[in-house]
Amino acid sequence: VAYVENARKLLEASRRGANPFDGATPEIPKGSRLESGSKEFLDSEALGLPHLRECAFVLVAGGLGERLGYGGIKIALPLSLCSERSFLQYYIERIMSYGGDAPLTLMTSDDTHSATLAFLEENNYFGFPRKRLSLVKQEKVPSLSDNRAHFVCAPGNPYALETKPHGHGDVHALLHRAGLPERWLAAGRRWVIFFQDTNGLVFHALPAALGESIRHELAVNSLTVPRRAGEAAGAIVRLKYADGRVITNNVEYNQLDPLLRATVQPAGDVADESGYSPYPGNINALIFGLEAYARQLAIKKGAIPEFINPKYSNAEKTKFKKPTRLECMMQDYTLQLDDARGVGFTQFERHICFSAVKNNLPEAMAKAAANLPIESASSGEMDYYAQERWRLTRAGAVIEPAERRTIAGIPLDIGAFVALGPNYAPSLGTLLQRFKGGRITRSSVLIIEGPDILIEDLDLDGALIVQAVPGAKVHLRGIQVRNRGWKLTELEAGDVCPEELAIRGYRFEKLEERALIFEKPGDYLIEA
């Protein structure tokens, strides 16, 4: 009953063209802006890194990824074909690399739950202790066919209702119901970090972002990037109401343009002289102070305001193109806070922290044509290598610049395929101590896995794999590698291949490689 009543109210408001933020004047919020690799960045990293082990991590993974057109769960997709590591494995190993006993919770849905569980079981939880991992499952909600919020029968089944996902905002109620925030607090945890299913880069920014949470005593810290006007990312906005209330909250991408047009910016969601929207782009990675979060959950039980976004098929707004439903978003947690103090953001350059995998190839092509972030499986993978190259460059490597190639219609910057294992360098500061200079050609492949490897003055033209077990202290000094390496080969029409390759449009051919594998603890020095 509550669902239908709320739906009718929101549908009526939607028909009138009301915006959930009507009455508010948008302002540009204040927050930290860290230039990657700067002294401030490295200082914040150094401050935050040791505290990541005191966090609880929450991955929202209930989305089906319809836009991507992939049949499986998105967290099982390879983040990088070179390292053959899925998003989930990468996340788990990253969290383990912080040491301590940080717990991980995955929010699944009816669409993803059994496949997620099976994937974890098949892979022995990627070595993550079972008792530290929790799954909470969100339920779907009934589809609505009209402005009176009538339900719809499931296709081909008059005895069941059609249902749809309710949005990532369910995560707060589910955590509360499972009693997890209270339990984490009792165990001495201090922050909770929420992140999304297919943005592998976000972990590069977490140490510094947590450092900013600590430095500015933030109850809520949203990670942001400079936002391209019109892109499908929400914006963090300071909303000032006539009664004096001030809220800093995400305004979702479909609401931003009408809100700005109706208030401070008649041209709507447009760029300023910087070339970007003046409002920071939300990447939906959130760091909450755990104590305040648990207190707030106890009051509202994790309920998040719902919204509705029907697409109408007639001018009178009485018919929908397809059934709709109520949804809620995890970042709207801040809507219910009485006090905007302690709600901030930390902005990073996009290349270090944000490249999600959301779009199938035709949609990605359209994004590329509109000069918007591409967000395909291929751009996600290439952005990952690009960021690893950038990190090595900061550590003194000279790397041949990437070159632009169009693969399956998607323009990609292709350079050396560098995949640094999650336990090799959990922060840029750590990497600067573990990698010191060298030369790497554009077509090279470099994979480094292991917590205690020092590489100095590497000269690489080909493929090199270095793997060392924990306890193996490896020092590679001045080594030169020349071989035929691996080749990125574009798929051809009619090629039969797994779906994770088809959505990229390429595969790797392993022609030749040098592998340095250290399977036993000990000290190793390899020199030219």
Q: Which residues bind ligand UGB (CB under 6 A)?
A: 60-63, 107, 109, 165-168, 196-197, 232-234, 250, 252, 282-284, 329, 356, 358
CA distance 460 to 440: 5
Shortest Cβ 283–ligand UGB spacing (Å): 5
Shortest Cβ 372–ligand UGB spacing (Å): 11
Shortest Cβ 90–ligand UGB spacing (Å): 14
Shortest Cβ 232–ligand UGB spacing (Å): 6
* Closer residue to ligand UGB in complex, CB, 34/61: 61
Strand-pair partners of 108? 137
* Closer residue to ligand UGB in complex, CB, 367/434: 367
* Closer residue to ligand UGB in complex, CB, 85/166: 166
* Closer residue to ligand UGB in complex, CB, 44/196: 196
State CA 434 to chain mean position distance. Answer: 26
* Closer residue to ligand UGB in complex, CB, 77/455: 77
And the tokens for 394?
């900061």
* Closer residue to ligand UGB in complex, CB, 83/284: 284
What is the SS3 assignment for 391? helix
* Closer residue to ligand UGB in complex, CB, 196/427: 196
And the tokens for 396?
């003194």
Shortest Cβ 197–ligand UGB spacing (Å): 3
- Asked if residue 386 lies in contact with residue 36, where contact means CB atoms within 8 angstroms, the answer is no
In Å, the largest CA–CA distance within the chain is 76
CA distance 86 to 115: 14
- Which CA distances in Å does 192 have to 50, 92, 219, 351? 15, 15, 10, 24
Shortest Cβ 184–ligand UGB spacing (Å): 20
- The kind and range of the H/E element at 115 are helix 113-122
- Asked if residue 362 lies in contact with residue 200, where contact means CB atoms within 8 angstroms, the answer is no
Shortest Cβ 417–ligand UGB spacing (Å): 25
Taking phi over 0 as left and psi of -120 to 50 as alpha, with beta for the rest, 133 belongs to beta
- Which CA distances in Å does 185 have to 90, 103, 189? 26, 12, 5
DSSP state of 312: B
Shortest Cβ 135–ligand UGB spacing (Å): 12
* Closer residue to ligand UGB in complex, CB, 234/289: 234
